[in-house]
Amino acid sequence: MADLSYRTKIELGVTATVVLTGVFFAVLAWEINPQSHEIGPRFVPMFIAATMILLGALISVVQLRLNSNGNGGELDEADVYEEDDYGFANSNITRVISVIGCGIVYIILFIAFGYFLATVGSLLLILHSFGNRKPVTLILVPLIGAIIYQYVFMGLMGLHDPAGELLDVSAVTKLISGQ
């Protein structure tokens, strides 16, 4: 591990995150009842999880191959990325933490208020995290986005939309979904 370049170490960290997320999704997808169909409700989530795992592994193979370019993983002047400009060295840590926080808030809102309101709230927080302060945008984009997501996932794909523990807006979401 000592002879790996900074860039390779960052890419291997990304690989580990992607593969672990894919494994987590695969475990959750495996719990879906296949309803004795060859291609049932489990197929798409399992396909996505397997794709994440395979692409994560591909990232590591490519990066390890690039690292063994004969100079111990050191970048040449011809390389596109400079070591100082790659990875997390110049990252806005506050923004990274706020995006992670938005994910946590989404889970809490999902349990409390259901899919639709959690999506509206989280999209608003993400827009705010990335510096958007225009009230019209902060209201319209999350609302329109949540309506589109609701229609596609619950209406067209027929996914289950659980009611929130604190507030049930299923009467509204059924109208959006066309149910």
| φ/ψ of residue 100, rounded to 5 | -60, -40
Tell me the DSSP string of 63-103: HHHHHTSSSTTPPPTT-SS-GGGSTTTT--HHHHHHHHHHH
Domain parsing of the chain, residue ranges: 1-90, 91-179
pLDDT per position as a tens digit, 24-33: 989 988 888 8
Take residue 24 and report the two structure tokens written for it.
Answer: 């987590």
On whether the CB atoms of residues 130 and 110 are closer than 8 A, the answer is no
SS3 state at 33: coil
pLDDT per position as a tens digit, 58-111: 989 988 888 865 555 455 554 545 555 666 666 778 888 998 899 999 999 999
Q: What is the pTM of this model?
A: 0.62
Task: Name, in order, each residue with C-beta under 8 angstroms of 156's C-beta and a sequence gap of 6 or more.
Answer: none
